[in-house]
Amino acid sequence: MRKSLPVEDLARDERFVRVPITDRMNDPRSVTNTRMRTQAKLTPKRPDASDAARSLMHGIFVGEIQALEGAGRTCWDFETGDGRDEAPFALKLDMARQCWDEARHCEISVKLSDWMGTEIGEFSEGTFLYEAACNPDPVLRLTGVNRALEGLAIDVFNTMRDFGDAAGDPVLEFCEDWMLADEVTHVKMGSDWLRRLTADDPERRKNALEFQRVVDKLFSLGGFRGEDDESPVKLARRFRELAGFGDDEIDEIAEVAHEALREAQARRDALAADAAS
């Protein structure tokens, strides 16, 4: 087997439909609800709440598969060691542990999808998470995947847990709370390894944090995630702190999200002006 498996070669059965991330986010059934062109908190009162929650659940499910695949590849792709292009033994052990956790998350997500009335393939799969997991530097993998994308997973699970509570769905609330605990662990792994492996290498740390910023920005697309109460997915400050984020780092993500929202609004205003003229 090769070291590094390109994203095109990710193995899937015939139910899965792969699309670019922008198409995935433009699905009118998604939680950002591009059809209604509104930003709204995910609550049972939203007229499209069922579709939005199911879409988010499906997105979580395919994200879990890719998180599993990415952690598995980090066990295989690198020789064991402390060199720049190697992965330390203890890091590989963490990734193996993450494999088990993500496999459980897949199991939970399949059962929850069934519970919520959707099935594999009803929504599409974007592969950005796995792409971030293909970075040739293990530190960048850990910042891009564990800190940025699994940090987003913390926000999403927290949102889904609150949604389960508000909708009177104890099964959803229960499962999301358990997955949230695991994700805090994974994000903390990312924070700890970033600090450990770049302690004497400021350039590498700078690159890793820059990579994280790019990923964070991409997943704040269209104001999908933000700090105010009306964001479809709310930034979960408390859990991010548990996962090793400093206040300044959380402020920065909030700013990135806010900027993405402003850009999305500007685009919408420009489109509306065009249409009116």
Partner 1 sequence: MADPNRPRAAFTPWDRRELPGSFSVEESAKRVGHYKWIEMRTFEVLGGWVATVPELDVKLRLGTHTYHHAWHAELWHKRLPELREMNQERLNVPPNDELVAFVDAMTEPEAPDLTIEKLVGVYRVLIPHKIAAYTFHLNNTSTITDAPTVRSLNFALADEFDDWRDGEMLLQSLIETPDEVQRAADRQAELEKLLLAAGGIAGPGSIGSPAQGEPDPESEQVTP
Q: Which residues bind Fe ion (CB under 5 A)?
A: 64, 67, 102, 105, 150, 183, 186
E strands in the chain: 225-226, 233-234
* Contact between 76 and partner 1 per CB under 8 A: yes
| Selected binder of partner 1 within 22, 38, 43, 80 (CB under 8 A) | 80
- Nearer to partner 1 by Cβ, of 10 and 49: the residue is 10
Residue span binding partner 1 (CB under 8 A) among the ranges 50-58, 88-96, 160-168, 212-220? 88-96
Residue span binding partner 1 (CB under 8 A) among the ranges 8-16, 21-29, 191-199, 255-263? 8-16
Interface map 156-175 toward partner 1 (x if CB under 8 A)? --------------------
**Which of the choices partner 1, Fe ion, none does residue 69 contact, using the CB cut-off of 5 to 8 A by kind?**
partner 1
Cβ atoms 32, 232 nearer than 8 A: yes
Angstrom distances, CA of residue 131 to CA of 57, 145, 220: 21, 9, 17
For residue 8, which amino acid is it? E
| Selected binder of partner 1 within 35, 44, 100, 266 (CB under 8 A) | 100
* Contact between 107 and partner 1 per CB under 8 A: yes
- Nearer to partner 1 by Cβ, of 21 and 103: the residue is 103
Residues of this chain, 14-73, that bind partner 1 according to CB under 8 A: 65, 68-69, 71-73
| Structure-derived torsion over alpha carbons of residues 209, 213, 219, 221, reported in degrees to the nearest 10 | 180
* Contact between 106 and partner 1 per CB under 8 A: yes
Cβ atoms 215, 149 nearer than 8 A: yes
Cβ atoms 118, 217 nearer than 8 A: no
- Nearer to partner 1 by Cβ, of 70 and 232: the residue is 70
- Smallest distance from partner 1 to CB 128, Å: 15
DSSP state of 126: -
Q: Are strands 225-226 and 233-234 parallel, antiparallel or unpaired?
A: parallel
**Which of the choices Fe ion, partner 1, none does residue 77 contact, using the CB cut-off of 5 to 8 A by kind?**
partner 1
Cβ atoms 214, 131 nearer than 8 A: no
- Nearer to partner 1 by Cβ, of 48 and 125: the residue is 125
Question: What is the secondary structure of 210-247 as a DSSP string?
Answer: HHHHHHHHHTTGGG-EESSTTSSEE--HHHHHHTT--H
Residue 250: how many CA atoms within 13 Å on its side-chain side?
17
**Which of the choices Fe ion, partner 1, none does residue 76 contact, using the CB cut-off of 5 to 8 A by kind?**
partner 1
Cα distance between residue 193 and residue 165, in whole Å:
34
**Which residues sit at the interface with partner 1, rule CB under 8 A?**
1-2, 5, 9-13, 65, 68-69, 71-77, 80, 89, 92-93, 95-97, 99-100, 102-104, 106-107, 120, 130
